[in-house]
Amino acid sequence: MMAGSTFKQFTVCLTFGEGIRKMKVKGLISWARKRALATAYWAIRRFQKKRWKDGRFNDAIHAVVKVADGWLSVTEPKAVIEELNLKPGHKYVFCEYTHIDDCEAAPGAAQAANQLARAIEGTDYDEGQLLSILVRAQNWIPNTNFTGLFRGGFRTWFARRLDMGSKKRVCSSGVAAILVKLWKASYLLNGKAPRPLGGKDHQLIHIEDAAPSDFANHPTFKVVAVLDEQGRWTEYEADTSLS
């Protein structure tokens, strides 16, 4: 039987349960906040299925990444580094960046990524960024420039106004930030590995636009193991030929 401690550093774990149900409701404001997040999660699933129409695990709702001190989870209300708790009856999917070994081997790269993880720990969850991702994903919101009033179009302008800033994140953007930091530190030394979540050679997904299922479907990642709801483990010999 596998456990969270057996995975490589910087492995990503996807979860599928309704974590929003854990939020406590105390009054009208907290109820409205919970309903807004629940709606956003529903829309993110819808967006993921649109982005990865023929993909796998595109109903994931949360992503965490293994770092030196545990697993970084950017969650409500604040980001934490904690042990991975594999709950019975839940599904978990474990993914790796295809060039993780090359990046980790670069002197100082893992240290830089872990420093960022410690900096993210304790930061507030960015509900605005979650809604920003939602807005950018919805084609029904017009992206017209309206005679130059909205740089990049109305939808893009409105989405940026929802984001609470680069120091606050949601789960998937937190994971993406760690892996891109690892890649940047190693890329300065050897320049061999493709950027996690793409770049000029593969479909580019910006850190702020990352969604949980990207780590299972993007060509710069591979699924290495799945724990299903019945407690059965499946390990994969994934293709690592991407360059």
**How does strand 70-73 pair with strand 221-227?**
unpaired
Given a contact cutoff of 8 angstroms between Cβ atoms, the answer to whether 142 and 45 are in contact is no
The whole-angstrom separation of Cα 84 and Cα 51 is 28
The pLDDT of residue 242 is 39
- Quote the longest CA-to-CA distance of the chain: 61
Closest CA to 44 of 27, 64, 22, 60: 60
Encode the chain (243 residues) as per-residue pLDDT tens digits. 566 568 999 999 999 864 566 666 677 777 777 777 677 777 788 888 888 988 999 989 999 999 999 999 998 789 999 999 998 888 999 999 999 998 988 889 999 999 999 999 999 876 666 666 666 556 545 455 555 555 555 545 455 554 545 556 788 999 999 999 999 998 766 667 899 999 876 788 888 888 999 999 999 999 999 999 899 999 986 544 333
Helices (H), the chain: 28-51, 100-105, 109-120, 127-137, 154-162, 171-187, 214-217
Q: How many CB atoms lie within 10 A of CB 81?
A: 20
The whole-angstrom separation of Cα 56 and Cα 229 is 16
Domains of the chain, earliest start first: 4-126+164-235 (3.90.1720)
